[in-house]
A and B are shown apart, each in its own frame.
Chain A
């Protein structure tokens, strides 16, 4: 796998509904990228006053240099786990950003240029724990992000979860990783070197 020596402001937005574990997912992903991979990472969060339901999102900025603005302005990777989130944040994406959706919950993707998996169904049917959905997403993102390493992510997941749910979540992580490998194809080449300035013809 390609080692990234320079990565300037790679912006990830994870969005969905309150209760889906979006912010926990961001915390684990951010922690792994910051402590395990050694990047500069900021993770901010935005949620409504409700305990469940309502919009929930977390932004991660990943960089090899210190980060000034901690939120995402033009998103390289948007993960939308609800239709509403997809509709709201699609316009914040970079022209060549990648959209990852929960294909059961986002029935009307705003473009054909997206990657989708039924994360919730996978967690419920294959793992038996629908709450492990965010670990499935983490597995899929680990496959997708060219600078993320599987072992480091697993370690971060293990460090942040209580022992009684760890086993299921690690299974969910591996499921997400293998499903992404099978359905997403290789990590998008357009992120190589994070060259958002160079426009290549054709999507």
Chain B
């Protein structure tokens, strides 16, 4: 029997930007639709998709008139059965908030990449920041559940994009991938995985006869099957609170069922959603909780601290929301102090403090001058606690 073609192929190494790795990851995950509006520092994602998508089967790339329309097009494509994404930065992300809420309500799988830059407003277009962390969680109105991921290096950009698509498809939800300017604009050698090397999850489609199909019916996982529009299964999509048939309702019992299900479909899979990486935490006495490019500084600082005899450890957050409480508690229980360095005035440290419950002393280390937090700053903090 001849060896399958894929196993004979050699993995390719490329020297790529984080942004280019995001595009590679999206294509590996099966993304075939991109609609966007360019904005520094996310434009390289759009540029890569613009050159790659037209070359794949049924690939569609659209430059829209603004970010509102971009996410609108992505929602439409997703409802029509495509895996779809867009990428933007702070100002565009603000414009997308309303549609993110719509995607939550209509349970539309999609990926929004936000490459964070200095803010507020137009801010520092070419400088890194992490100011959109709480916005990614709470930016759209109405109580809702959402998944927010982050990546810190180029290989992880690829990986996390695949993960973002998988989670979006698995839980029928928008997934926000938060990067920062440094992560998106760092070129590194990465190994492109072969197709099939990553698990790729596709949304569950209904198998019952179309006339039996109830589009927003409760299921074991809380995630109803999702047919592509035009496949014979009829359903109504609305941002209004709707019943199991997708039509507007004001009945309290149907309203609470919908809202509870929207939360439960994510809440009951925390173990699957919360991705973290623990580095030297086993015997750590002082800890660092970091994400994005700052996690790289933190890792270097932990190595330097260890070399000086300080038992330091790092909890790197891959998932920002739902907040990885269990992993944070493990670190907080074993460390006398935990430092949370971030390029904002303390958005993730709020979460760490929230779950701390007096276990440890949580210290913030903040920088909002458009510069990345350096290893020496974190090392200094580690030596002082």
A residues apposed to B, CB below 8 Å: 26-27, 30-31, 34-35, 40-49, 67-71, 73
Check if B13 is an interface residue, CB within 8 A of chain A: yes
Known interface pairs A35-B13, A41-B15, A46-B126; A70-B189 also in contact (CB < 8 Å): no
Chain A residues in 8 Å Cβ range of B15: 27, 30-31, 34-35, 41, 43
3 cross-chain pairs, A with B, having the tightest CB-CB distances, nearest first: A43-B187, A68-B300, A69-B300
Inter-chain pairs besides A44-B185, A70-B153, A70-B293, 4 sampled, C-beta below 8 Å: A42-B188, A44-B187, A68-B375, A69-B300
Which B residues lie at the A interface, using CB under 8 A?
13-15, 40, 125-127, 153, 182, 185-189, 293, 296-297, 299-300, 303, 372, 374-376
Q: Is the CB of B126 within 8 A of A69?
A: no
Contact B185 A69 (CB under 8 A): no
Report the Cα distance A42→B153, complex, angstroms: 10
Please determine whether A48 and B188 come into contact, CB atoms closer than 8 angstroms: no
In the complex, chain A residues whose CB is within 8 Å of the CB of B127: 46
* Chain B residues within an 8 Å CB radius of A27: 15, 187
CB distance from B154 to the nearest CB of A (A): 8
Could you tell me if B372 and A71 are in contact, using CB atoms closer than 8 angstroms?
Answer: yes
Q: How far is the CB of A165 from chain B (nearest CB, A)?
A: 20
If the complex has contacts A35-B13, A48-B126, A49-B125, are A69 and B187 also in contact, measured as CB distance less than 8 A? Answer: no
Give bound CA distance, A68 to B153, whole Å.
9
Q: A49–B188 contact, CB under 8 A?
A: no
Minimum CB–CB distance from B376 to chain A (whole Å) comes to 7
Q: Which of the residues A35, A44, A69 comes within 8 Å of B375, measured between beta carbons?
A: A69
Of B14, B187, B376, chain A has the most CB atoms within 10 Å of the CB of B187
> Is there an interface contact between A70 and B13, defined as CB atoms closer than 8 Å?
no
Given contacts A31-B15, A48-B126, A69-B297, contact A40 B372 (CB under 8 A): no
Contacts of B13 in A (CB 8 A): 35
- A46–B371 Cα distance when bound, in Å, is 10
Q: Closest residue to B182 on the A side, CB-wise? A: A44
Residues of chain B within 8 A (CB-CB) of A42 are 186-188
Q: List 28 A-B contacts (CB under 8 A).
A: A30-B15, A31-B187, A34-B188, A35-B14, A35-B15, A35-B189, A40-B189, A41-B15, A42-B186, A42-B188, A43-B186, A43-B188, A44-B185, A44-B187, A45-B185, A46-B126, A49-B125, A49-B126, A67-B188, A68-B297, A68-B300, A69-B296, A69-B297, A69-B374, A70-B153, A70-B182, A70-B186, A73-B375
Residue from B125, B182, B187, B299 within 8 A of A71 (CB atoms): B182
Q: How far is the CA of A69 from the CA of B373 in the complex (A)?
A: 10
Chain B residues contacting A44 (CB-CB under 8 Å) are: 182, 185-187
User: In the complex, what distance in Å separates the CA atom of A46 from the CA atom of B189?
Assistant: 19
Alpha-carbon distance between A70 and B127 when the two chains are bound, in angstroms? 15
Does A68 lie within 8 Å of B299, measured CB to CB? yes
Which residues of the other chain, A, contact B374 by a CB distance below 8 angstroms? 69, 71, 73
B294 to A, closest residue via Cβ: A69
Bound CA–CA A17/B36 (angstroms): 30
Task: Give A67 to B372 CA distance when docked, in angstroms.
Answer: 16
Residues of B within 8 A of A73 (CB): 374-376
A70 to B151, CA, bound (A): 14
Contacts of A31 in B (CB 8 A): 15, 187
**Chain B residues within 8 Å of A34, by CB:** 15, 188-189
Q: When chains A and B are docked, how far (Å) is the Cα of A42 from the Cα of B375?
A: 16
Among residues of B, the one whose C-beta sits closest to the C-beta of A45 is B185
A contact residues around B186 at 8 Å (CB): 42-44, 70
Q: Are A49 and B40 in contact (CB under 8 A)?
A: yes
Q: Which residues of B have CB within 8 Å of A69?
A: 296-297, 299-300, 374-375
Residue of B nearest to A35 (CB): B15
Given A34-B15, A35-B15; A47-B296 close (CB under 8 Å): no
With A30-B15, A35-B15, A46-B126 as contacts: A68 and B296 at CB distance below 8 Å: yes
A74 closest partner in B (C-beta): B376
B125, chain A: closest CB distance, angstroms: 5
Q: In the bound complex, how far is the Cα of B118 from the Cα of A48, in angstroms? A: 12
| Cα A31 to Cα B303 with chains together (Å) | 27
B123 to chain A, nearest CB (A): 10
What B residues does A46 contact at CB under 8 A? Answer: 126-127
| A15–B372 alpha-carbon span in the complex (Å) | 18
- Least distance between A72 CB and chain B CB atoms (Å): 10
Report A-chain residues with C-beta under 8 Å of the C-beta of B375.
68-69, 73
A120-B116 Cα distance, complex, nearest whole Å: 36
Which A-chain residue is minimally distant from B372 (CB atoms)?
A: A71
Q: How far is the CB of B12 from chain A (nearest CB, A)?
A: 10
Q: Is the CB of B189 within 8 A of A41?
A: yes
A196 to chain B, nearest CB (A): 14
Complex CA gap A43/B187 in Å reads: 5
Report the separation of the CA atoms of residues A67 and B187 in the bound assembly, to the nearest whole angstrom.
Answer: 12
Min C-beta distance of B65 to chain A, whole Å: 22
Output the residue of A47, A70, A71, A73 with the most chain B CB within 10 A: A70
A182 to chain B, nearest CB (A): 31
The interface residues of chain A lying within 8 Å CB-to-CB of B300 are: 68-69
> Judging by beta carbons under 8 Å apart, are A30 and B187 in contact?
yes
CA distance A47 to B308 in the complex (A): 35
**What is the distance, in angstroms, from A186's C-beta to the closest C-beta of chain B?**
29
